[in-house]
Amino acid sequence: MQFKRLALAMFASVPLLASAQSNVTIYGVADAAVSREDTGAPGAKSVTRINSGNQSSSRFGFRGTEDLGNGLKAMFNIEAGYAIDTGAGDTALFGRRSVVGLQGAFGTVTVGREYTPIAAVGAASDILGQGFYGSNLSVFNANRLTRRISNSVNYKSAAVSGFTGLAAYSAGEAVSGASGNLKGVALEYANGPFYIGGGYHELTRLATGDDKEYAIGAGYKVGDLELRGNYMVGDQTGPNNKFEQANLGASMAFGPGKAFVNLQQNKTQNGAKGNAFTLAYSYTLSKRTNVYASYASMDNNNLGVFGLNAAGTNVTPPTAAPGADPRALTVGVRHSF
């Protein structure tokens, strides 16, 4: 109810925003799919589901800038996620991104809830665009690596000879429990068809020590063929809590469509392993609308309970069924506005 009231209030204020500041933009994505899914657990049956956010999370947001002169601008971005199949909103109204900041020749400084430096590396090196089942979102959605941080101050430098630096500090604002401070950095290099980046996070666990997170990714494009891959590690405190994931994928444009294939390996310190395979195709109907289809599978060893994660949904075997192999076949439509 609170989400609905706040959303209505924001939409009601749009004419006032537009008249007061002409460069405020309203944008969003509506992504819905029909999926046939099987967790692979013994005795479990395949189910048909209507999902939101299989290729991209369904969302709406507001962003804008104000020219302050001398090359300096004020900026803001607030973005909310929602489920198009039910109309339900995320727990936090603007939980996807909620920042205000300044940008200029020095780069951009933001304060609020922001994407982490490692998230930038993960997104740039995922051939699936962190959409479709089998993307590297699983490492973030399983809380192995941190994708967004609240109560944060963030910096992204201007590009210098192809290099861009990112840094973040989040105040955990807790005096007890598991939620402490996060410090993160990343360095990216982009030159034409080539990209490479790496990042590091350190998250203070007040009672048990520090978690450490690492990511490296790269990409290269030749004509209509594009290759991307990454390797990410979440080394959390406690026994058997080290997680590793590697992805290698390719895409090929075919007229107005594009085909994707991705291979993924997951493993944890206790010997659990899971190998995922994703095959997807997206067909462009217009600049803002496309249809898509995908098939994904995860093959777990006898200790693995790894699942398949898409942008806004997942297929995961129960922890009581190690070795189960989830599968998903999906068709959907996505429209951006």
Q: Reduced to 3 states, what is the DSSP secondary structure of residue 122?
A: helix
Poorest-pLDDT segment among 4-13, 119-128, 137-146: 4-13
**Residues 155, 162: Cα–Cα separation, whole Å:** 17
Q: What is the pLDDT of residues 214-273, one digit of tens each?
A: 999 999 999 999 999 999 999 987 776 899 999 999 999 999 999 999 999 999 999 999
Give the pLDDT confidence score for residue 144 in this predicted structure. 82
Q: Give the CA distances from residue 162 to residues 191, 279, 317, in Å, rounded to whole numbers and listed in that order.
A: 6, 32, 42
Mean pLDDT of the chain: 91
Give the pLDDT confidence score for residue 295 in this predicted structure. 98
DSSP letter string over 148-195? Answer: EEEEEEEEEEPPBTTEEEEEEEE----SSSS---EEEEEEEEEETTEE
Give the pLDDT confidence score for residue 313 in this predicted structure. 86
Give the pLDDT confidence score for residue 208 in this predicted structure. 66
* 180: nearest Cα among 170, 169, 172, 188: 172
Token code pair at residue 91: 């727990």
The residue assigned the tokens 């004419």 is: 15
Instruction: Give the predicted TM-score (pTM) of the model.
Output: 0.88
Give the pLDDT confidence score for residue 59 in this predicted structure. 98
Give the pLDDT confidence score for residue 207 in this predicted structure. 64
Each domain of the chain, given as residue ranges in start order, spans 2-336
Q: What is the pLDDT of residues 304-329, one digit of tens each?
A: 999 998 888 889 888 879 999 999 99
Please provide the CATH number assigned to the domain covering 2-336: 2.40.160.10
Give the pLDDT confidence score for residue 64 in this predicted structure. 98
**Residue 87: Cβ-neighbour burial (10 angstroms; 0-12, 13-18, 19+):** exposed
Q: Give the CA distances from residue 321 to residues 40, 287, 315, 324, in Å, rounded to whole numbers and listed in that order.
A: 9, 43, 13, 6
